[in-house]
Structure 1
């Protein structure tokens, strides 16, 4: 059953916070201006790989619970700790996932899928051609978000991360961040084009999983690898709020709060808090 309260989560893989802050990203800047942009420190027990970081975002629990420690999900405990799309769907909400590149998010590859049972899944794999994959994922999401009724949606963009691996953190990496921001703008425009947008209460969350070293790559212990970020705006998120310490587990908690499911999820071992509970007091 749909409701006026809805959430779009945009996962942008491998965007270093310092590069983001130094790059022209008007659409992510708009999200931050209407709410916040805050760093996330990946905890020491979590390897700085996409698998464990996205699993923590999706499930709202840490590595010790979901069991994913690398990009191969062998030994995971996702059945005990499902993703927020699956849980929202089971609670009667309509959910949507759009992925164009990294298969374990949406398929059985490498021990996946991380997102087990969204109501609608669009997956088009272009292998390591994440630019084409992101274009496919964004184009489908534009159509779906503009015309269909979803309560919770997740769109994944992988081009920045792949560019970092192939070319390091330089001009090409910055250009990939700019391309990702342009796609964020298209998704926001799709929401605004909805006939009922004025009556709908949309929360938008953009989040990255990890950073990159200068020469490209991640998986280590450096500050640039261990620093992620969250930008968000929407009902209950005050513009310009000074945030306390945010964690990846807070994303799922806020999704449930935003669509009125926090009470139903209260018995689950979720480890995060809705963003309003992380605002710095005083």
Structure 2
């Protein structure tokens, strides 16, 4: 009897360490952080209590090389790839010519394990067919195992009306199917996209109609959250959920696309437990979501790809974050925030951008110094160039910055 008890305890212990990790991220369109904080959003707030809530800027850094339009498809692609528009090349909702050399989180997962199941539940068909590149040779023929999208094209069941109520009904269906499918099948990585909030913002600005749409979105999220709770209880799976937005809005609530504070004021809510300094030092950024999912799911990103990712994982251990660079009088000053004082920072420099076209960049290690110094000065007077890529390689994560000489 004693041996049976010991064996049972060992089985429980092994199972706890071998929990299957699964993730879902939900994008609700066009909601600045001030409204999530002010309005009735009990599901988002419940999720946040188990993990955290943080402001997360959209649109890159204003006035720099990575300044990015605060537009829907642009924001989705930043979330998917962990890069800003200067890399992924999605500048608008139309006429998209994406650079698929910057992979989405779905491609990274399928690259390491093609047996993993991916799913998308979306009001907008282009999220799958264009932004994720479903079935395209440029994405190595990535295929979603399950897709529920394109209902905006179904004018029989969802006749278009001037008040965009049809989008509300589509969001209802998308969230219902997402909850049901995740509960029954538990795909490894899913994206749920809800649109109606953005339509109400465009039509009515800051208004009861817009606020009601935000609160309705929260009830739709509950369908997915309830499914996750079921999966955790019934199957012992370890689930990550991330809720976010693609952009904020201007001061009236009607528009977006620019670089005003409110247009850039996005946010992240998550149930993640192991949140680090990137999350706790407000603000994070929407580019942090992709590497955070990768960290949680133990997705190994090749070094040459990691050197291009602009976001920093807000889950798990990091050694440094918040890099900055400045070129002056032939010298580049590099700064970072040392999260830990242990270990060294290896500094790499390249004057090429071959990665953009599928090639390899010619990096040279120019220094290796203690992380705790939080600064390095690199003399590039003998390497004159109009362009520099700087990479800070730390023991647990990689940071990058560009310098484009005007």
1:167 and 2:167 matched: no
> What does the per-residue CA deviation read over 1:56-81, in whole Å, with 9 as the maximum and x for residues that have no partner?
0011111111001111253220x211
Aligned length in residues: 272
**1:120 matched to which residue of 2?**
146
Moved >6 Å (runs of 4+): 278-282
**2:238 matched to which residue of 1?**
201
Give the structure with the larger strand fraction: 2
**2:265 matched to which residue of 1?**
227
Q: Conserved in 1, the CA contact under 8 Å of 2:50 and 2:273?
A: no
Mapping for residues 1-282 of structure 1, pairs under 5 Å: 4-42=20-58, 43=60, 44=62, 45-77=67-99, 79-92=100-113, 93-100=116-123, 102-107=124-129, 112-114=130-132, 116=134, 117-126=143-152, 129-194=166-231, 197=234, 199-213=236-250, 214-237=252-275, 242-261=280-299, 263-268=300-305, 269-276=308-315, 277=318
CA RMSD of superposed structures (Å): 2.4
Shift of 1:90: 2.9
Q: Conserved in 2, the CA contact under 8 Å of 1:16 and 1:212?
A: yes
Q: Conserved in 2, the CA contact under 8 Å of 1:250 and 1:272?
A: yes
**2:371 matched to which residue of 1?**
none
> In structure 2, what is the Cα distance between the partners aligned to 1:255 and 1:54?
15
3-state SS of paired residue (2:70): coil
Cα 1:224–1:20 change in 2 (3 A) is: same
Of structures 1 and 2, the one scoring higher in RCO (CA 8 A, sep 6+) is 1
Cα 1:267–1:64 change in 2 (3 A) is: same
Cα 1:63–1:3 change in 2 (3 A) is: farther
Cα 1:73–1:86 change in 2 (3 A) is: farther
3-state SS of paired residue (2:147): strand
> What does the per-residue CA deviation read over 1:138-181, in whole Å, with 9 as the maximum and x for residues that have no partner?
11111111011311111001111111011111111110110011
TM-score (norm 2): 0.62
Q: Conserved in 2, the CA contact under 8 Å of 1:85 and 1:96?
A: no
3-state SS of paired residue (1:193): helix
3-state SS of paired residue (1:74): coil
> In structure 2, what is the Cα distance between the partners aligned to 1:226 and 1:235?
26
Cα 1:21–1:166 change in 2 (3 A) is: same
Report which stretch shifted further, 84-93 or 218-227: 84-93
Structure showing greater radius of gyration is 2
Structure 1 residue runs without a partner (length 5+):
none
Shift of 1:186: 1.3
TM-score (norm 1): 0.88
> In structure 2, what is the Cα distance between the partners aligned to 1:244 and 1:167?
30
